[in-house]
Structure 1
Amino acid sequence: MTIIIISLLLLASLLPHLTFTAHVNVSIVNGREAKPHSRPYMVSLQVNRQHICGGFLISDKLVLTAAHCRNRYDILVVVGAHDLGYSKSSDVIRVKSYIPHPDYIRSPIQNDIMLLRLEKKVKLNNKVRLISLPKKGEDVKPGTRCSVAGWGRLWTNGLKSDCLMEAFTTTKTQRNCQRRWGSHFISSQMICAYGSGGSCNGDSGGPLVCGDTAVGVTSFVSGQGCNSPEHPNVYTKISAYLQWINKMEKLSDFM
């Protein structure tokens, strides 16, 4: 029986307590450098000034990301950045509270979604903006051309990128995703996509963007290699969690 190894998208070297036989943190492979600040909703989650995951702004005080990005270390959120090695326009903000989905399961991965309540509100400008979420009942159709972005690895086991990278990918049918991933894929809470480029280690938590809307949260890829045609990259389906997100957004002032 063939065993499929799932690769979560974090920086394994920073997370010694994790027991995954997986790479944690996906980056963009076969992509291109994004135009600086063309994706002003993107944030870098960092531990000890090292990028571990992506995320995206959905309000001036909330970041949406993957639940598996949480670890025992305090995370700093960098907003307004393009080149992580040098960026005068970026701002570093502490996390006030971590709000993973209450039904999050690490293995096998389920409900891989988390909100970060920032210690202070971000200052919105042309380099720092919000991204919209889908409306209730609004699911992305198979065959939709979407995009992903991140500061992860440029190829499987390769180097990370200081500059934000992006790639285009296409959503697949739920049937196709189920056939490729088997029981690892839960159609009610996941989307899968594949294209000429895609996420790799270090891109976890970043958005799957279709049009101007974030429809997914980068969750996991195949341990056999990033952007595998045999096992398309998997994203947490945001539309399945809108009620929870809205509830947490209202409660976040008290957390």
Structure 2
Amino acid sequence: MFIESFLILLALNFLSAGGVNRPEERIVGGGPIEIEQAPWQVSFQIRGHHICGGSIYNADTIITAAHCFFLSGAWQDPRHYEIRAGSKSIKSNGILVKVAAVKVHEYYVHKENQFFVLQNDIAVVRLSERLQFTNKVQPIPLAESNPEPGTMSFATGWGNMYGADAGDANKIPIHLQGVKLRIQSPNFCVRFHGQSKICAGDSKHTICTHDSGGPLVINRQLVGVTSGRGPNCDRPATFSSVPYHREWILNAVKSFPQHV
């Protein structure tokens, strides 16, 4: 019990840290949506506390951000995590499924100096049991090419709505939020990451604390995984490019033992 409580506090402390280009945690400038509008969305939780988002790829595989498993820079045992799928609420309904295993990109980089640097911030998660698909639980296919600047996308999550302080419960929504984000030129974000990152949003429409790992979607295809934001959730955000990492994702999915 002590260890699990410590992990929760550690997670909340990690996700509330300030600084430039911190891991992403909230939806800003959007509004509540129904789970049927994003049935691939899941919540990663530790003892009922929402930590990150993720996207359903198939019945037993979730795609999320690598940094969701490194709290304060330290690797966490995946068995402490579970996902809630099929619900707009992080507190009730849907189904809870434990995490069985995680594959983090072997070249994931997590450095903290003047900037919070996240490279290859992507992970594939194997669930302990298969999901049953319904109108509230659906997989999402992987996009094959990065979107052009000016394209409109859709980001969802349970991140903070009014600021980057993860300790303020009034800023953390219980119900799923969504926001339309305009794709920006890659160098419009704080740091240039080439094709491996997608830059989207603006000062009034972006993501924030606890949105990490969630989906960036265009035409019902997964184009990005929520990765980084500005210090006060008031700047365009960065997303790990799914097209850029597509081959790695597919190989990681194949490497897991198949459920009988």
Give the 5 Å matches for 1:18-97. 22=19, 24-71=23-70, 72-73=76-77, 74-87=80-93, 90-97=94-101
> Which residue of structure 1 lines up, in the alignment, with residue 184 of structure 2?
172
Distance change >3 Å, CA 21–CA 163, structure 1 → 2: closer
Report the Cα offset of residue 14 of structure 1.
2.4
> Which residue of structure 2 lines up, in the alignment, with residue 193 of structure 1?
200
Equivalents in 2 of 1:52, 1:204: separation in Å?
A: 8
Query: Is the aligned partner of 1:150 residue 2:149?
Result: no
> Which residue of structure 2 lines up, in the alignment, with residue 249 of structure 1?
253
Distance change >3 Å, CA 12–CA 148, structure 1 → 2: farther
Report the Cα offset of residue 204 of structure 1.
0.3
1:248 maps to amino acid? A
Equivalents in 1 of 2:85, 2:35: separation in Å?
A: 13
Q: Which has the higher strand share?
A: 2
Name structure 2 gaps, 5 residues minimum.
1-7, 71-75, 112-116
Report the Cα offset of residue 115 of structure 1.
0.5
Report the Cα offset of residue 66 of structure 1.
0.3
Distance change >3 Å, CA 84–CA 175, structure 1 → 2: closer
Report the Cα offset of residue 48 of structure 1.
1.4
Other structure's SS at 1:27 match: strand
Asked if structure 1 preserves the Cα contact closer than 8 Å seen for 2:24 and 2:229, the reply is no
- Aligned residue-pair number: 232
Of 72-81 and 164-173, the range deviating more from structure 2: 72-81
Asked if structure 1 preserves the Cα contact closer than 8 Å seen for 2:26 and 2:208, the reply is yes
Equivalents in 1 of 2:185, 2:106: separation in Å?
A: 28
Equivalents in 2 of 1:20, 1:101: separation in Å?
A: 24
TM-score normalized by the length of structure 1: 0.84
Give the CA RMSD over aligned residues.
2.2
> Which residue of structure 2 lines up, in the alignment, with residue 129 of structure 1?
138
Asked if structure 2 preserves the Cα contact closer than 8 Å seen for 1:77 and 1:94, the reply is yes
Query: Is the aligned partner of 1:116 residue 2:122?
Result: no
Report the Cα offset of residue 174 of structure 1.
2.2
> Residues 83-112 of structure 1: CA distance to partner in whole angstroms, max 9, x if unpaired?
22332xx11111111111000011121100
2:11 maps to amino acid? L
Percent of pairs with identical residues: 28
Equivalents in 2 of 1:147, 1:210: separation in Å?
A: 7
Runs of 4+ in structure 1 off by over 6 angstroms are 17-20
Report the Cα offset of residue 253 of structure 1.
1.7
Name structure 1 gaps, 5 residues minimum.
1-10
Report the Cα offset of residue 162 of structure 1.
0.3
Distance change >3 Å, CA 146–CA 119, structure 1 → 2: same
Query: Is the aligned partner of 1:140 residue 2:147?
Result: yes
Other structure's SS at 1:245 match: helix
Other structure's SS at 2:37 match: coil
Distance change >3 Å, CA 18–CA 51, structure 1 → 2: closer
Other structure's SS at 2:90 match: coil
Equivalents in 2 of 1:20, 1:163: separation in Å?
A: 23
